[in-house]
Amino acid sequence: MDRKLIDESRARENDDLKVFSLGVFNSANDVWEVIFTEQLGKEYRKPVFVTFTDETLLGCGGASASSGPFYCPADEKVYIDLSFFHELAQRFNAPGELAMAYVTPHEEGHHVQKLLGYLDYREQMHRKINQKECNELSVRVEVQADFFAGIWARKAVDMKIIELEPGDIESALGAANAVGDDTLQKRAQGYTVPDLFTHSTS
């Protein structure tokens, strides 16, 4: 991936990650603005970008580092926990620039879902279905956000915002695989409980 998105003059690691994430966030806004205007005939309302480390307060309640990156539909903000990028590379063994970059467009994908009415539909359905069905619906929402992150990557290349290098796609897929429900459950307890999946399998 091209280093255009990173301001290398920043000395501290988290500052560098903040600048990197903001660059990705802005590029995702550019991509979705084009898609909404040209393909959907709608106006794209940009979310707000917030970075934090350890914990923060948001319109959906509190969030800690254990929450990881997060989108809050109540305040339309994308919250990026900068420490998560260290965890992604070290704990989940998913290093690489596109692996880190994928995280932000995934969360922004949830904002797109809100604008298109998918999150409202999920909330309506949650009041009508059982817990297992709620989990299955959550999986669909998360997989669609992954799909939207893929749209960002493809469109950002087409728009010459980023340039992919050998290994970038594998890096991003590695990040997605590392945080699959089956992988996380096996790591935590040694076995999987598919009915409890909310983010899909690796």
Distances, alpha carbon 15 to alpha carbons 7, 10, 32, 97, 98, in Å:
9, 6, 26, 15, 18
Tens of pLDDT, residue by residue over 68-108, are: 788 999 999 999 888 888 877 777 666 678 888 888 999 99
pLDDT at 9: 41
pTM summary value: 0.81
Tens of pLDDT, residue by residue over 162-183, are: 998 888 888 888 777 776 554 5
Query: How far apart, in Å, do the first and last CA atoms of the chain sit?
Result: 23
Tens of pLDDT, residue by residue over 135-149, are: 888 889 988 999 999
pLDDT at 82: 84
pLDDT at 7: 42
What span, in angstroms and rounded, lies between the C-alpha atoms of 196 and 132? Answer: 7
- Residue 10 contacts by C-beta under 8 Å, 6 or more apart in sequence? 16, 18, 19
Tens of pLDDT, residue by residue over 4-33, are: 554 444 335 578 889 999 999 999 999 999
Q: Is the pLDDT of residue 151 over 50?
A: yes
DSSP, collapsed to helix, strand or coil, labels residue 103 as: helix
What span, in angstroms and rounded, lies between the C-alpha atoms of 199 and 179? Answer: 8
What span, in angstroms and rounded, lies between the C-alpha atoms of 96 and 85? Answer: 10
Q: Is the pLDDT of residue 197 over 50?
A: no
What residue spans define the domains of the chain? 3-196
